[in-house]
Amino acid sequence: MFASDQLALPDDILLSVEKPERYIGGEVNSVIKDKKAVDVRFAFCFPDVYEIGMSHIGIQILYGMFNSYPDVWCERVYSPWTDLDAILREKKIPLFALESQDPIRDFDFLGFTLQYEMCYTNVLQVLELSGIPLSAADRTEEDPLVIGGGPCTYNPEPVADFFDLFYIGEGETQYRPLFDLYKKNRAEGGSRKDFLINAARTIPGIYVPSLYEIAYHPDGTIKEMRPLVDDIPAVIRREVVTDLSAAYYPDAPLVPFIKVTQDRVALEVMRGCIRGCRFCQAGQLYKPLREKSLSACTESAVKMLKSTGHEEISLSSLSSSDYSHLSKLLDFLIETAGKEHVNISLPSLRIDAFSLEVMSKIQDVKKSSLTFAPEAGSQRLRNVINKGLTEEDILRGAHEAFLGGWHKVKLYFMLGLPTETEEDILGIGDISNKIAAEYFDTVPKEDRGGQSVEITASTSFFVPKPFTPFQWAPMLSQEDFLARARITKQGILSQINQKRIRYNWHNADESVMEGVLARGDRRLSAVILKAYQSGCMFDAWGEQYHFDRWMQAFDDCKLEPAFYYRRERAEDEVFPWDFIDIGVTKAFLLREWQEAQAERKSANCRQRCLGCGAARYHVGICPGAEDSVCAQVSAHASEADVTGGVSGWQHTGERP
């Protein structure tokens, strides 16, 4: 089962910690290779517990793709929970990979997927437990190269000091050339620095923080970023998969030993989104919308269900309702999965596009709760965020869902959105109550089978993210957030159907810190290090989060959190992430910010091209639009226009 003769942890330690299955490897479909027969060893880390990391589709894809290369062995490592963390430190046991049980420090690469800002201190935990210097500047030729990827790398600056390099974009395109360059550099006797410089020069999407210098204005905002080495790009362009149907997708995903957060087969049907919600970072980062062909989806579904034995299959995308082959795909899944009583999960549904036809297709399959995201309680605020939903749309979608036999509905909203008023907040209770009333109007008492409608309304607190129209917006304090949560709760308690509505809200302190880290600059690396040294770890877990320690870390570093989250940005401010070109121009995002403040909606990509810039890729929904506004913007925009739009990053071409 294992590549080594014994596990890294003896039985007495495994039996003393919670869920020892997290640390033993050997799961179904895990890959074991002869380490002497490979040239590159890659340890892939999700900096959170096993149950979270094993649910992530991105690692499943890259784990399978890397291991499809004969000369590469990719293994996994997750953050050990606090009980094992203490034991590893006390007994000086180095952190190890699951497959071989070898120490992480023996690998060529340690790769982190950065999915959530509140996992940053766990990156330091993994580095320290592995015996790898926390600062990239302190690493030697004997240390693994530490590389980061994932959505948080679209502003990598807060963790720049800890990484040797970042991969910006979708991982399927440039890892093979990166591994080949690594092998060539080693064969030629090149140094660690030689590899990093050549990677920055020759591999698209690669960003090496140590090769760039940041200059600041007296007020603390950024003046410019300058490359320190000739011939490395001033602008890093996001990598994009142009043919999703032909891209690698695992036929045999890893199957966990224990129940994990997303314990099911995940079938990716498309990337990107047409909708343009102004708060949504993913909707901008993954433009343009690219669909996987029906044949590719059905083939993957059959292979994954057969190789895993999972009892549920989920369609993975930002908006499943917008997948153009959804009806035919569901027909196929009903025929194949339904016979085996495999549940079909349809997350990311837009309530306005949720048709009775789709509902009826899966009504005989085991039902779970339906999740809808109105995001705001009033039509005015939904216009501000460009959600594109009316109350009529919401109630009609709920009506169709109830006709289809569902009675559990989860509703997601945000508090603290730009221009939000008390009337908008109270609208959350109003719409929840109307959905409950719709159930009683739709389903006769004799058809309810002793059940009643169950509505869970959850509010998160708005965090303005990079590369969204709201990246200029201020964020509320934790006190303001909690005050709005109290108004929401009172609004729900005043409703006729209050007993059918449960209300949950997110941690306000954690949301504030997420906002700080999301839009922070390179100076925050020192704060993150201080916070970690004071005991911060697993900050995404409420019981482990210590807001006071974070505030002390800011004091120690003489930085003010409010600078990063409370102030509204000037329209011409240079952002820490402006050196990254995601394909969508800053000028377009600013235009959408102005439209939001005017409470005006924008069309979605299938209705009308808005000229965001993503047509330059000529893939997905965009190709063939040579005369469109978007294609013209993409063809004629200068590098500064594309990346900065309003201000842009400066590049003098000179060494400092």
**Model confidence pLDDT, tens digit, residues 69-81:** 999 999 999 999 9
pLDDT of residue 426: 98
The length of the chain in residues reads 656
| Residue where the block lists tokens 């490395």 | 232
Q: What is the pLDDT of residues 195-249, one digit of tens each?
A: 999 999 999 999 999 999 999 999 999 999 999 999 999 999 999 999 999 999 9
Kindly indicate the confidence band of residue 653, based on its pLDDT and cuts at 50, 70 and 90: very low
The token pair that represents 99 in the structure block = 């497959």
Bridge partners of 454, per DSSP, are 408
Confidence check: pLDDT of 633 > 70: no
Range from 236-245, 335-344, 445-454 carrying the lowest mean pLDDT: 335-344
Residues 364-418 pLDDT 10s: 555 567 778 899 999 999 999 999 889 999 999 899 888 888 899 999 999 999 9
Integer CA distances (angstroms), 113 to 36, 150, 532, in order: 26, 5, 19
Residue 345 has a pLDDT of: 81
Can you give the residue ranges of every domain in the chain?
11-233, 580-643
pLDDT band at 340 (very low <50, low <70, confident <90, very high): confident
pLDDT of 635 strictly over 50:
no
Q: In whole angstroms, what is the distance from residue 528 CA to residue 621 CA?
A: 40
* Pairing mode, strands 580-581 and 222-227: unpaired
- pLDDT tens-digit map of 496-543: 999 999 999 999 999 999 999 999 999 999 999 999 999 999 999 989
Whole-angstrom CA distances from 587 to 24, 69, 345, 510 are 50, 41, 38, 31
Phi and psi, residue 306, nearest 5° = -70, -40
Q: What is the mean pLDDT of the chain?
A: 91
Mean pLDDT within 9-28: 97
- Residue 241 pLDDT: 97
Q: Is 430 helix (H, G, I), strand (E, B) or coil?
A: helix
Beta-strand relationship, 206-207 and 165-167: antiparallel
> pLDDT at residue 2 above 70?
no
Q: How far apart are CA 58 and CA 43, in angstroms?
A: 14
Write down the CATH superfamily of domain 11-233.
Answer: Cobalamin-binding domain (3.40.50.280)
Identify the pLDDT of residue 405.
Answer: 83
Q: How confident is the model at residue 342 (pLDDT cuts 50, 70, 90)?
A: confident
Distance CA 618, CA 485 (A): 44
Contacts of 597 (CB under 8 A, 6+ apart): 384, 418, 419
Quote the pLDDT of residue 641.
41
Beta bridge partners of 147: 111, 165
pTM, two decimal places: 0.93
Q: Which long-range contacts (CB under 8 A, 24 or more apart) does 22-25 make?
A: 22/49, 22/50, 22/51, 22/78, 22/80, 22/81, 22/258, 23/50, 23/80, 23/84, 23/98, 24/98, 24/257, 25/76, 25/97, 25/98, 25/99, 25/101
Instruction: Provide the pLDDT confidence category of residue 624 given band limits of 50, 70 and 90.
Output: low
Q: Can you give the pLDDT at residue 368? A: 61
How much is the pLDDT for 511? 96
